[in-house]
């Protein structure tokens, strides 16, 4: 029961943050700082702060670029287990070659700015994956 309440609370918090960002995007659009309120979802917190202080066409350009990349990458499907460079399954080989050379190179925007500490297991062959032990600690899954 406790896990259900925690999940419900988390969903409410995420929804509240999303609504707040939509509102902030609308305000920034009305002030002429953004051309589209949804662009706020393609800016980092630091970039939003910079944009609130000064208008910056460079940051708007970055957000548009990320938005275009997101729409392309959203349609890609990857296999559950991969070896080597990740390549989407649902893109033809000729399209994949073009994409590898130019468009799908994303630089400078980390998915997470956090730091994670914990044990890591390095495997050289897929057959060694069975050596990874997983344990559950509270609501966290830990690989040991």
The answer to whether residue 47 sits within a structural domain is yes
First vs last C-alpha separation in the chain: 28
Q: Which residue has the tokens 């706020």?
A: 40
What is the reported pLDDT for 19?
A: 94
Domain of 28, in residue numbers: 2-74
The answer to whether residue 97 sits within a structural domain is no
* CA 3 to each of CA 81, 140, 142, 143: distance values in angstroms, whole numbers, following the listed order: 29, 12, 18, 21
Digit-coded pLDDT (tens) for 86-120: 777 877 655 544 544 554 555 555 555 556 666 66
The answer to whether residue 109 sits within a structural domain is no
The H-or-E segment that residue 143 falls in is: strand 140-143
Alpha-carbon distance of 95 to 85, in angstroms, equals 16
Would you call 22 exposed, middle or buried from its count of C-beta atoms within 10 A (0-12, 13-18, 19+)?
middle
pTM for the model: 0.55
The answer to whether residue 80 sits within a structural domain is no
Contact, 36 vs 29, CB < 8 A?
Answer: yes
The answer to whether residue 65 sits within a structural domain is yes
Handedness of CA 66, 23, 44, 143 (dihedral sign): negative
The answer to whether residue 21 sits within a structural domain is yes
The answer to whether residue 144 sits within a structural domain is no
Contact, 64 vs 39, CB < 8 A?
Answer: yes
Give the pLDDT band of residue 144 (cuts 50, 70, 90): very low
Alpha-carbon distance of 5 to 56, in angstroms, equals 42
Structural domain count, the chain? 1
The answer to whether residue 27 sits within a structural domain is yes
């Amino acid at each position: 029961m406790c896990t259900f309440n925690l999940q419900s609370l988390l969903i409410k918090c995420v929804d509240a943050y999303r609504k707040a960002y939509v509102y902030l995007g609308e305000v920034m659009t009305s002030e002429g700082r953004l051309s589209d309120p949804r662009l706020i979802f393609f800016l980092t917190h630091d970039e939003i702060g910079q944009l609130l202080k000064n208008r910056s066409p460079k940051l708007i350009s970055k957000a548009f670029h990320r938005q275009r990349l997101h729409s392309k990458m959203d349609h890609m499907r990857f296999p559950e287990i991969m070896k080597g460079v990740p390549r989407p399954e649902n893109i033809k080989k000729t399209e994949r070659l073009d994409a590898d050379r130019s468009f799908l190179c994303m630089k400078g925007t980390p998915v997470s700015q956090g730091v994670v500490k914990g044990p890591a297991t390095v495997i050289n062959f897929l057959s060694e994956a069975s050596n990874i032990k997983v344990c559950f600690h509270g609501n966290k899954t830990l690989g040991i």
